A and B are shown apart, each in its own frame.
Chain A
């Protein structure tokens, strides 16, 4: 207990300390400055570019960027479907796992392409090693896509008027090779030395203390677990995700994985500051996100540390907190911290069962994903935040008697339309998905682990997690059914690509506009007042859209428990 709080503070501070220089480095990568890794990857990239006939120096406008992005994703999705459905006869299947059904393969392939990793299967029995390796590839490239999209945004926000916004292939490949790969390598090495398996052999056999023979799944887990966190993917190699002793053997690996998932979402904020030379704006952004994060994580720590009053009433000791669904090697507080980190940034890897958290802790996990822009996923977090900045700029610009502008560009009807659609999309997908699930008990009632309010939360969580491209589950749900696979599959596609297309389109439109130098009457966006405004807009939109749903889920459950 006493060491738990310093432990989580250490993780947060260490991630921040690493993120600032990393942000500087990322900005350098995207400004095309030379980095020390060019010597290693440069020649390989050149070879690839020559074979494919791509010129990485051709600048693209925002539409061309989006075409490339969508085409790449389409190819990966189809490849993924093929591998997953045919894994039983493809090589690298030592455990002899069967091929996936079409609807499961659809869901799995999409969810890895979109950086969500909503897994409706267990890694031990649901996929072969070849599939795991292909999914690992998707974890790299989907994170790379998100970061490349952020790079396009950065380029568009520069103080100039242009439609040339860099080259997508270049941003994408550099994100993978210069940023994701080296960090993942370091993380994987730490994991291997702490006991995470890295092998292509099939199941191991051990004899337990009781003398029973036990089959233990292994595989190339260390590499997989590394990128799953660094790329904020969150899909577990094993079904139990980061609660599994092979994925997350001890407290040190827990620290490593925590820092690994925080570091890029943090760094990308500072990268924006370095790239645009607006470091104060970056710090204000980080501040706003951190306030939001703390507002979610602190109550959770309290609630989990205090334990469950209903169980305490039965005379069971709650001094170590609410431990149902949590690992003893991590403890209640660390798990509570992880549960919010993994939901604010869209990792979705879990080291405890979110289904077992206190009702309002569950609500905070839901809120973290409903807001989806406190840090947010790899690259895409800042895109989501950008939408709220546009809305905040518009309202606050009016409040000071000036038509709104951001970074020297006027925000007009067209930008507002796009921003509003994107802001609407998230509640739309979550609420409509959940509403359909409640309205169609024929498909859903048998899959719920709990009836009543908690069952409602399970469905709400499933769609929230899909729409936030988070991928964690309120694991009570039996979700490998055509209904869940297909409905969440479509939610995943829409909630991934529209929130990339929207901000990129706005950025592209803004980049084309005349640059207006800051004057005395301009509303500065790098002040704490403006930060507060953004925070207010974010919280208000989330509260207004989700209050009724949360009332019928976790809030009703909480008050019923009292």
Chain B
């Protein structure tokens, strides 16, 4: 999936898009796009003129010429429709291929009998599952639909969705309880509750969005449509008033010439490509394996000022590892190591496991009567074990300090110093206490991902502030933040800290993006302007965010921002190009309109076009074919380069502004040479 390169124009897509181009000629659909609607009216008028000539009118030029004008205008419409249709078809194909994997897979549904769920399992098709149903999946099964594990743990191959071949572990409870339809269970057995109604999964929503049924114009698209409608109005005024002007100058102008002038001048290029650009933005997000819930989210991503990134997995590789044990003075080293290992017995986190590993002790050797395992919570920020009269806790320095000081014990000075040394070296100190007395420190170390500095450098050039979020203490956080090159960090972060940070930045007018997976990330994901939930995350997180990343790749935010910027830039540059084109079109058509009556205006024909008819045809043909020629650019997007806003503006002005003035001069001249052969 990930590396599958759909070529721009696959045959099947082309056929579908061609069919749609005709369906979209329906004026009710056209009305949504004022520029192309104006062209449609012009086309209709030309059709009437053609019929009029057939019925005997002879002041409007030959039938052949008028008919060609009609055909070219019709083609202009079809090309614009085709652009939209091909973008839709591509998005749909992309999403369908994701969806197909989960359709009609057999599901082992559990039927409840009375109040109890007994294992009465029947195999039903996945499409019959509704929200709330429970099914089980065993080794080798394809998971039939999206859901949340309510019992068990399994290794799952998600390569069908993410393209990542390494299996992942998903288990009930916690933040990794979500499973996606179409993925395969490799081992163990899980009980899963369905979380979406059929046809309402994120993919379904996205397909609806792409198809246009629920596609709404984004605020920026609306503003741009106003601009384009404004230009269309200017040219209506210009063309309508030209009639009395021409009459005053005794210059008859044919209807075909009027309509051609009008269609050429209004911004048909951007008007025809506008919706394709928007859809292509969502397509590109999907190609990056990100499902967007609205077009607006992609657009907003381009505007992001602040990026909140989790340290673990984004900035550092996976998890921290225990590297050293430092017992407090007058504590036996072996006893300390044993206590540390005991405290980590039930700790399933990679950090916990690495402590056991470093201790070189075997858990199975421990014989403990009636142990109570204390789980880590975000509030206590410590975990451990209680047995007999012993209470062992390990946790963040301040959490343990609170614990010991509350019991009336002092936090040893040398442990304090050790903690500071570890922290300032980028390590994470984990303080261990037994019966509320500090017995030593475990050092955990982080490894920063290679290449992450360059990515942050790029973000800084784009004007985006990066913020690292970590549960580490400030000293450790600072060390890693500096090493990785992030601009700011939130240390010892609790879920509400993230939320507060986002609110603070937003109150200062900045747009914030963040990525999250856990249920306690949900409020922050909802608060953030762009919230990207990991597909492996909880249902709550996925509901709260406005994008879902199928790859669970925390660095994906950076790509999303670039996709958003590309979307806006493609709109801006094609608008500029479209309007700049008018200069050349004027020089083609205006002399053509007046030369016959006012021969003195001949020097205005600077392109030296063959005849008034060929000039007008060349201009409208250029106007029509520029649309399909620009479809690839509209779909791929204009390349974003983080070189600073002013430099970017200069560059795009040069390419699309100046280029937009020069290219049509050449294009119209070439087409005129071609057309003049036939006239």
Most buried by B among A399, A424, A560: A399
Q: Are A515 and B509 in contact (CB under 8 A)?
A: yes
A527 touching B646, Cβ below 8 Å: yes
Flag if A413 contacts B226 (CB, 8 Å). Answer: yes
Is the CB–CB distance between A438 and B598 below 8 Å? no
In the bound assembly, the distance between CA atoms of A401 and B243 in angstroms comes to 41
| Distance of B629 from chain A, by nearest CB (Å) | 20
Pick from B59-67, B217-225, B417-425 the stretch touching chain A. B217-225
Q: Which residue of B lies closest to A397 (CB)?
A: B572
Contact yes or no, A548 B649, CB < 8 A:
no
In the complex, the answer to whether A530 meets B649 with C-beta atoms within 8 Å is yes
Which of B302, B509, B590, B644 contacts A408 (CB under 8 A)? B509
Give a binary string over B646-679; 1 marks a CB under 8 Å from any A CB, 0 the rest.
1011101100110000000000000000000000
- Contact: A549 with B245, CB < 8 Å? yes
Across-interface contacts of B657 in A (CB, < 8 A): 536
Minimum distance in angstroms from A159 CB to a CB of chain B = 11
Contact of A523 among B299, B571, B603, B649 (CB under 8 A): B649
Please count how many residues in chain A sit with their CB below 8 Å of the partner chain's CB atoms.
Answer: 64
Interface string of A422-436 (1 = CB under 8 A from B): 011001100110111
Q: How far is the CB of A51 from chain B (nearest CB, A)?
A: 45
Fill in one digit per residue for B572-601: 1 if any A CB lies within 8 Å of its CB, else 0.
Answer: 110110011011001000100110001011
Closest to A541 in B: B234
- Report the separation of the CA atoms of residues A401 and B637 in the bound assembly, to the nearest whole angstrom: 11
A456 near B226 with CB under 8 A, answer no
Point out the residues of chain B lying under 8 angstroms from A424, CB to CB. 230, 233-234, 237
- On whether the beta carbons of B220 and A403 are closer than 8 Å, the reply is yes
Tell me the residues in window 395-447 of chain A with beta carbons closer than 8 Å to chain B beta carbons: 395-403, 408, 411-413, 416-417, 420-421, 423-424, 427-428, 431-432, 434-436, 438-439
Assess whether A548 is in contact with B242, with CB atoms less than 8 Å apart.
Answer: yes
Stretch at the interface among A210-218, A317-325, A550-558: A550-558
Task: Let me know if A543 is at the binding interface, CB within 8 A.
Answer: yes
**A517 touches B (CB below 8 Å):** yes
Contact with A along B550-563 (1 / 0, CB 8 A): 00000000000000
Find out whether the CB atom of A398 lies under 8 angstroms from the CB atom of B242. no
A555 in contact with B601 given A394-B223, A394-B227 (CB within 8 Å): yes
Determine if A516 and B226 form an interchain contact, defined as CB atoms under 8 angstroms apart.
no
A3 to chain B, nearest CB (A): 36
Say if the beta carbon of B645 comes within 8 Å of chain A: yes
Chain A residues near B222: list those with CB within 8 A.
413
Q: Is B241 an interface residue (CB 8 A)?
A: yes
Whether A403 lies near B650 (C-beta < 8 A) is no
Alpha-carbon distance between A4 and B568 when the two chains are bound, in angstroms: 51
**CB closest residue in chain A, given B306:** A519
Of residues 263 to 311 in A, which have CB atoms within 8 Å of B's CB atoms? none
| Overall SS of chain B's interface | helix
Residues of A within 8 A of B645 (CB): 400, 402, 521-524
Among A403, A439, A521, A548, the one with the most B-chain Cβ atoms within 10 Å of its Cβ is A521
Q: Is the pair A402, B576 in contact by a Cβ cutoff of 8 Å? A: no
B residues less than 8 Å from A540 (CB atoms): 579-580, 582-583
A544 within 8 A of B: yes
A544 and B244 contact, CB distance less than 8 A: no
Q: Which residues of A contact B227 (CB under 8 A)?
A: 391, 394-395, 416, 420
Contact residue among A397, A412, A456, A545 (Cβ-Cβ distance under 8 Å from B238): A545
Check if A562 is an interface residue, CB within 8 A of chain B: yes
Within the complex, the shortest CB–CB distance from A188 to chain B, in Å, comes to: 43
- Please judge, given known A-B contacts A431-B237, A559-B603, whether A416 and B460 are in contact too, CB under 8 Å: no
B240 sits at the interface (CB 8 A): yes
Q: Does B247 contact A (CB under 8 A)?
A: yes
Q: Is A8 an interface residue (CB 8 A)?
A: no
Is A63 among interface residues, defined by CB-CB distance under 8 A? no
B237, A399: Cβ atoms under 8 Å?
no
Answer whether residue B354 sits at the interface, using C-beta atoms and an 8 A cutoff: no
Complex: A173 Cα to B114 Cα, angstroms: 85
Q: How far is the CA of A453 from the CA of B598 in the complex (A)?
A: 11
B649 touches which of A400, A436, A543, A547 (Cβ 8 Å): A400
Taken together as a complex, chains A and B put the C-alpha atoms of A424 and B230 apart, in Å, by 7
**Which A residues are CB-close (under 8 A) to B229?**
420
Given contacts A398-B572, A420-B227, contact A456 B248 (CB under 8 A): yes
A-B contacts at CB below 8 angstroms, number: 204
Given contacts A431-B241, A456-B249, whether A401 and B569 have CB atoms under 8 Å apart is yes
The answer to whether A413 and B223 touch (CB under 8 A), given A395-B572, A517-B508, A520-B464, is: yes
- For residue B648, which residues in chain A have a CB less than 8 angstroms away from its CB? 399-401
Q: For residue B646, which residues in chain A have a CB less than 8 angstroms away from its CB? A: 523-524, 527, 529-530
| Alpha-carbon separation in the docked complex, A434 to B245 (Å) | 8
Provide the residues of chain B in CB contact with A417, threshold 8 Å: 226
Inter-subunit contact B462/A520 (CB<8 Å):
yes
Docked complex Cα distance between A515 and B508 (Å):
7
Interface presence of B566 (CB below 8 A): yes
- Would B230 and A423 count as touching, CB distance under 8 A? yes
- Distance between Cα atoms of A545 and B239 in the complex (Å): 10
B48 within 8 A of A: no
Instruction: Report yes or no: B590 in contact with A551, Cβ–Cβ below 8 A.
Output: yes
Does B564 touch A at the CB level, under 8 Å? yes
Q: Which residues of A contact B586 (CB under 8 A)?
A: 543-544, 547-548
Task: Determine the distance from Cα of A187 to Cα of B541 in the docked complex, in whole angstroms.
Answer: 72
With A and B bound together, what is the CA distance between A559 and B465 in angstroms? 59
Are A401 and B238 in contact (CB-based, < 8 A)? no
> How far, in angstroms, from A438 to B246 measured CA to CA in the complex?
9
Quick one: which of B244, B265, B580, B593 has the most chain A CB within 10 A? B244
CB neighbours (8 Å) of B235 from chain A are 544
User: Across the interface, do A544 and B265 meet the contact criterion of CB distance under 8 Å?
Assistant: yes
Q: Are B247 and A544 in contact (CB-based, < 8 A)? A: no
A431 and B601 alpha carbons, distance in the complex (Å):
21
Distance between Cα atoms of A544 and B587 in the complex (Å): 11
Do A517 and B601 have beta carbons less than 8 Å apart? no
Q: Specify which of B226, B461, B464, B652 is in contact with A399 (CB 8 Å cutoff).
A: B652
B510 at the binding interface (Cβ < 8 Å): yes
B604 interface residue per 8 A CB criterion = yes
Whether B580 pairs with A559 at a CB distance below 8 angstroms is no
Query: Is B568 within 8 A of A401, CB to CB?
Result: yes
Residues from chain A with Cβ under 8 Å of B465 in the complex: 519
* B145-186 CB contacts (< 8 Å) to partner A: none
- Scan B447-471; emit 1 where CB is below 8 A from any A CB, else 0: 0000000000000111111000000
Q: How far is the CA of A556 from the CA of B249 in the complex (A)?
A: 10
> When the two chains form the complex, which single residue of B299, B580, B594 contacts A403, counting CB atoms closer than 8 Å?
B299
B305 near A: Cβ within 8 Å?
yes
Q: Does B565 contact A (CB under 8 A)?
A: yes
- Asked whether any CB of chain A lies closer than 8 Å to the CB of B640, the reply is yes
B303 interface residue per 8 A CB criterion = yes
Q: Give B626 Cβ to nearest chain A Cβ, in Å.
A: 18
Interface residues of B in 228-281 (CB under 8 A from A): 229-231, 233-235, 237-238, 240-249, 251, 265
Q: Which residue of A lies closest to B239 (CB)?
A: A548
Task: Tell me, in angstroms, the Cα distance from A545 to B234 when the chains sit together.
Answer: 7
Contact B463 A521 (CB under 8 A): yes
Q: Let me know if A533 is at the binding interface, CB within 8 A.
A: yes
| Other contacts beyond A521-B645, A532-B653: 10, CB < 8 A | A400-B648, A402-B565, A403-B220, A416-B223, A424-B237, A427-B234, A519-B465, A544-B579, A544-B586, A555-B604
> Sorted from nearest, which 4 A-B pairs have the closest CB atoms?
A398-B572, A521-B463, A520-B463, A401-B565
Residues of chain A at the chain B interface (Cβ within 8 Å): 391, 394-403, 408, 411-413, 416-417, 420-421, 423-424, 427-428, 431-432, 434-436, 438-439, 452-453, 456, 514-517, 519-524, 527, 529-530, 532-533, 536, 540-541, 543-545, 547-549, 551-552, 555-556, 559-560, 562
Please list 16 pairs of residues, one from A and one from B, whose beta carbons are closer than 8 Å in the complex, sorted by A's number: A395-B572, A400-B652, A403-B302, A413-B219, A424-B237, A431-B241, A438-B248, A517-B510, A521-B464, A529-B650, A529-B653, A543-B583, A544-B234, A549-B245, A552-B248, A560-B600
